[in-house]
Amino acid sequence: MNSKIKVFSGTKSRYLAEKICENLGCEMGNLTITYFADGEFEVCYEESIRGCDVFLIQSTFPSADNLMELLLMVDAAKRASARTINAIVPYYGWARQDRKSKPRVSIAAKLVANMLSLAGINRIMTMDLHADQEQGFFEVPVDHLFASTILLPYIKQTNLKNLCIATPDVGGTKRASTYAKYLDCPMVICNKTRQRANEVASMEVIGDVKGMDVVLVDDMVDTAGTITKAADLIKSMGANSVRALASHCIMSGPADERVSNSQLEEIVFTDSIPYQGNCKKIKQLSVGPLFAETIRRVLNNESISSQYII
C-alpha cells in the first residue's frame, strides 16, 4: 500500500477495520478517543495525516455516539490537512427515516448525510442502504455496495433442492425478485400490516410454498418480529425448510429469543454490525474483503462494477 494511505477506525467498528487492513496489507492508523466525565469525547490522530488519503471506518448504528465519533474523526482529519477524507460506513444508521411518512416528522437519513458532508467527507462507501435513492442525499460520490456479493455464494453452496426466495414485506420485493432471477427460482411475498413501529399486526403469504426450501431475504433485522412471523407462517403452510439472509444484524430487544424460538433453521448476516448475542441460529459473513478490494480500486481509479454480482 502507498505510504500516503491511512486507515483509521471508530471504537465499535475496529473488528471490521482490522479485517479490511489485513486484506489491504496495511497497518491501522493510531487514533485515540479521550472521554470526559460527562460523556463528551475528543478525537485525536496520533500521527501525521497531512496530504494523505484517509479512510475512516465506522458504522453508525445506535447509540448516537458512533455517528458523533465519525463526525469528529472527519472534522479532525480536515483540520489536520488530509488530502481526501473517505467515510467507510458499512451500516448507514438512521436510514429508515428517509421520507415524511406522516406530518411533522424529521428525515434523519438526509440530515445525517448533510452532517457528514458539512464535516468534510470527499466520498462515502456504504452497503445496502434502506432505499437506493438515499444515495441522492449526498453531494459527494457514493459507492453503494451490495451484501448479495457475500450472501448469494453462501446460499448457492447450500444446494437446496427446491429453493424459493421470499420477502418478509412488500417493500423488499425488488430485492427478492433480483435474488430469485439470479438463482432461477420462484418467489413469494409476505404482506404485513403494522399497528406501530416494530410491531406486526397481521401477515399473509402470496404464493405457494408447499414442499419448498424457502429463503427469506431482507436488508436488516431489528427486533426480528417480521422475519420470525413470516418464517413461522411459511412453515405452517407446508414449506420444507425456512432460513433467512439479511445484510445488517441489528438484533435488538427480544430478537435473539424470537429467532431461537422460531421455525428459522438459520439466519445469515454480514458483519457490518457486530453481533453481541448468543443465538446459535445466527451466522455472520465478513464484508472485510469486499470493502478492502473496493478501497483498492478507488485508490487506483479502477472500475468497481465487477464487485457487484447483481
- Provide the annotated active-site residues: 192
What distance lies between CA 142 and its chain's CA centroid?
Answer: 15
C-alpha cell at 226: 417480521
Measure the CA–CA gap between 276 and 164, rounded to whole angstroms.
30
**Contact between 247 and 127 (Cβ < 8 Å):** yes
Among candidate residues 211, 204, 205, 207, the one with its CA nearest the CA of residue 163:
211
Would you call 134 exposed, middle or buried from its count of C-beta atoms within 10 A (0-12, 13-18, 19+)?
buried
Look-up: residue for cell 428525515? 107
Q: Is the peptide bond before 305 cis (omega within 30 degrees of 0)?
A: no
Measure the CA–CA gap between 289 and 153, rounded to whole angstroms.
14
Q: What is the DSSP string of 119-180?
A: HT-SEEEEE--SSGGGGGG-SS-EEEE-THHHHHHHHHHT--TTEEEEESSGGGHHHHHHHH
